[in-house]
């Protein structure tokens, strides 16, 4: 089965957002370590917001990649 480049882009973005979701869920202070800022004054609210946004993003990209995978292939002859 031949898939379009769009599928691979969506699959890579799904994997990336899922990886960041898991990283942020397990190590919520990685943002402060990498960027050197603490915008929420250690309350953790920003991290939970980012976790939720990454979860939604992952679900959307997985759904888009799945739809592209299941898309009927048309051949031009």
Query: In this model, does residue 66 exceed pLDDT 90?
Result: yes
What is the pLDDT at residue 72? 72
Helix axes 5-26, 45-70, angle to 10 degrees: 160
For 3-19, the pLDDT digits (tens) are: 889 999 999 999 999 99
Rounded CA separation 36/59 (Å): 29
What is the pLDDT at residue 9? 96
Query: Can you give the C-alpha Rg of the chain in angstroms?
Result: 17
What is the pLDDT at residue 43? 85
Query: In this model, does residue 77 exceed pLDDT 60?
Result: no
Rounded CA separation 53/61 (Å): 12
70, containing H or E segment? helix 45-70
The answer to whether the CB of 58 falls within 8 A of the CB of 14 is: yes
For 22-45, the pLDDT digits (tens) are: 999 998 888 888 888 888 888 888
């Amino acid at each position: 089965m031949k898939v379009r480049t769009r599928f691979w882009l969506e699959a890579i973005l799904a994997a990336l957002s899922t990886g960041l979701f898991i990283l942020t869920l397990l190590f919520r202070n990685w943002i402060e370590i990498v960027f050197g800022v603490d915008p929420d004054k250690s309350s953790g609210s920003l991290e939970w917001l980012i976790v939720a946004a990454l979860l939604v993003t992952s679900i959307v990209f997985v759904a888009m990649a799945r739809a592209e995978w299941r898309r009927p292939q048309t051949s031009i002859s």
